Amino acid sequence: MTNAASDIKSRPVYQPLRPDATAVRHWLVLEAAAQNAEGCQALAEAFAPVAGALQVWSVGALALGRLPVSVLADTPALADALAQTGPFRVHDRLYVQGTEPFIWSVAALARAAGLAPEQLRLAHAGSLRRRVWCTHCHGVTEGVTTHTVPCAGCGRHLLVRDHFSRRHGAFMGVMVDAEAPGQRPAVQEVFP
């Protein structure tokens, strides 16, 4: 699933996951709560040809057809699994599917475990809720569904921009009433 169209170049564009034909070993990481039956069926079919060189990890319980799935309790357990799996080689690929905060958290864990960005394939599934990074206090606000939100760090009311930081795995939030203090637009839910 790709997200809403945007003219902002930093906005990630996601493609459905498919095994990379040049890869030797494959890891598929799924956020169970973000998957649906149709998506699981498509993944099971897509990755069946590489099943002998595939490890599937799911954060939360998930069935993926005939592909064996190792269920992990949370992202710290995934970090441990990645650390124990390395060292990674050039022809290894990690595929991640879930909500945007999840996939970018996993991407950060994968980079810390030694995988290069070119070895990662990311796909969005589930909610459009956003992680917002405050440009003022550098705090992060999770699970944002509206176009403005109070910052969890400094309390400023932030406008949720469509600019995305891959380093922070978050969208930028800027003070909504910086030029006209106290003038804030009505809150609208736009990221269900």
> Which CATH number characterizes residue 36's domain?
3.40.50
Percent of the chain whose pLDDT exceeds 90? 89
Does residue 53 form part of some domain? Answer: yes
Q: What's the pLDDT at 6?
A: 64
Clarify whether residues 138 and 79 are in a common domain. Answer: no
Q: What's the pLDDT at 100?
A: 95
Q: What's the pLDDT at 4?
A: 55
Confidence (pTM): 0.90
Using 50 as the pLDDT threshold, list the residues of the chain that sit under it. Answer: 1-3
Clarify whether residues 117 and 101 are in a common domain. Answer: yes
User: For residues 184 and 159, what is the distance between their CA atoms, to the nearest angstrom?
Assistant: 9
- Pair 145, 189: CB distance under 8 Å: yes
User: For residues 45 and 72, what is the distance between their CA atoms, to the nearest angstrom?
Assistant: 22
Clarify whether residues 36 and 113 are in a common domain. Answer: yes
Does residue 65 form part of some domain? Answer: yes
Q: What's the pLDDT at 1?
A: 41
Clarify whether residues 146 and 119 are in a common domain. Answer: no
Q: What's the pLDDT at 7?
A: 74
Q: What's the pLDDT at 169?
A: 93
DSSP H helical ranges for the chain: 37-47, 75-85, 100-112
Which residues have C-beta within 8 Å of that of residue 173, sequence separation ≥ 6?
132, 133, 134, 135, 141, 149, 151, 158, 159, 160, 161
DSSP H helical ranges for 55-139: 75-85, 100-112
Question: Is beta strand 54-59 parallel, antiparallel or unpaired with respect to 25-31?
Answer: parallel
Q: Total domain count for the chain?
A: 2
Token pair listed for 145: 């569904």
Does residue 7 form part of some domain? Answer: no
Clarify whether residues 84 and 168 are in a common domain. Answer: no
Q: What's the pLDDT at 2?
A: 42
Does residue 188 form part of some domain? Answer: no
Clarify whether residues 39 and 105 are in a common domain. Answer: yes
Clarify whether residues 46 and 72 are in a common domain. Answer: yes
Clarify whether residues 148 and 114 are in a common domain. Answer: no
Q: What's the pLDDT at 86?
A: 80
Clarify whether residues 159 and 107 are in a common domain. Answer: no
Clarify whether residues 66 and 93 are in a common domain. Answer: yes
Residue with tokens 């969005």: 124
- Pair 70, 132: CB distance under 8 Å: no
Domain that includes residue 158, residue range: 130-175
- Pair 63, 44: CB distance under 8 Å: no
- Pair 175, 157: CB distance under 8 Å: yes
